[in-house]
Chain A
Amino acid sequence: MEQLVLTILTLISLVLTVQAAHALYLMIYTWDRPEAGDRARVPDRRATPALSFTAILPARHEEEVIQHTIARAASADYPPHLVQILVVCSADDVGTIEQAQAQVNRLRAMGRTNVEVVVFDDGPINKPHGLNTALRYATNDVVAIFDAEDEVQPQLFDIVNTIMSEEDVGCVQAGVQLMNFQSNWYSTFNVLEYFFWFRSRLHYHAKNGAIPLGGNTVFFKRTLIERLGGWDESNLTEDADIGLRLSSMGEKVRVVYDDRYVTKEETPPTLQSFIKQRTRWCQGFMQTLGKGTWKLMPTRRQRFLAWYTLAFPHVQAMLGVYLPVALLSAFVLTVPVPIAMLSWLPVLMLGAHFVMSVVGLYEFTGAHGLKATPGTVVKMAITWFPYQMVLSYAAARALWRQVKGERNWEKTAHVGAHRTAAETAELTNVG
């Protein structure tokens, strides 16, 4: 029996170490591979605007931020006649519809007639259904997805026009970045997760042809999305699902990241909303894993990468149990020295993760003209373990919901914490 326990302990330690090392590598992939970093860059020279865009803004209970987002999208540095903006709301969301319509009216008064509010009254009331509804009204070459709280970069259409015109790609994923890294105790790590994901890891997925796309700032050729049959309305992470469906079709996805042109977002304002958001993501990955799209990918490498990514929430749920037990057993359990040493290897990886996060913080703040202080690092050191526990709790909660068959959409609230007061005032009055 003791032998069995030791064997299991050894195996878990080894698997966790390998998994962690790989995950860490993906976090620094583009920093490590200069050529990958080059591939991710925004073209310096821009092509003549040729492609037309339909930007879809799904919104639900976004009264506080929707006007600003519409204004921002409408003020893109791209010929207005090549841009169509569709704000999608469900009929019961009267407040958001009113706010959106008011902004549309202001724009129309200025002669901008390319913004419309699309209202649907059928179910399910969720983002993919909204997207599919809006898709029917989309008339332009390229469909772009933005979230209601997004700080859309004015040059994005120009950049994507250049990429799609000059490269053989039907889908472009541009960078998304949470900005409010000092709002609360978990925001620093949340911001860094986005930073590492969009700045590095997604590029690895794109290169290897197995990419779970992000939920916004993603651009599809309309014919492509129509060929795919739109978004899966039963999936809680329709974005990841559609990315993997694209990959299984052999479609290339171009990931572009430049600190100057990221879409800025905010972390969920409360811990509760953060947990709900994370639960939805984890459950969506679980759903997508069960759906089996990943099995349709052409190569074993692609299938493994997709499976590995989608299965991670399961691992994270188990880590919530394993980590405290492992820490306790490190001080209580008496095992042979080599096994004890081996069982500390995952802890070493956790140390590496923390170092990477601290360096990432300075990279992030340096890139965006913000300032990280030693105090922030101390705060990270204190909150690192609780944050991991929160992530594990959310993953376990997702697993529980998945087992119980609860698939309803838990909406994330937005308050505009990533926007400065000046930006808000300036853009809300556009028109």
Chain B
Amino acid sequence: MINQIPVNLLRFILLLLAQVLVLSNMNFSSFVNPYVFPLFILLLPFETPRWLLMIIGLFAGLTLDIFLGSTGMHAAACLAVGYLRPFLISVITPKGTEFEISPNIHSQGVAWFVFYTGITMLFYLTFYFLLEAATFFNFFLLLVKIVFSTLMSVAFMLIFLFLFSARKKRRFV
């Protein structure tokens, strides 16, 4: 359990740098605004208590806010993701599935992860864009932005997962 901390810390730094220096710097278009950073919260160990998920979500979000200059908006969204994560996992996971310590693309499978990240990002980006839009509320623009950004976010998250997930060696029984 203890060696989960350096792994997650490393993942936090990697995702933060990928988000801040690469993705948020790319400026695809005003409709595509992908975020990979929430993956950090999604990959925390399964047994993380809900209150800790919320606290970690809040501080992770605040860190992202500092870099992107968007006071509290990502913090609010990350916090909500942390709160809803246990609920989401219980909904999309079939009964009787065996868990490893944390979500892993090789043990949970790609389909599961597409659902997991897709639903989370749809929620996250809706929440965030609504907060950000505040004054010029253009429903159509908002919808297009949410859909395209979610698709791109999921794609980038899968790339990240395939690049950095350790495949567990099968033990012989």
| Chain A complexes with chain B | no
Q: Enumerate chain B interface residues (CB-CB to A < 8 A).
A: none
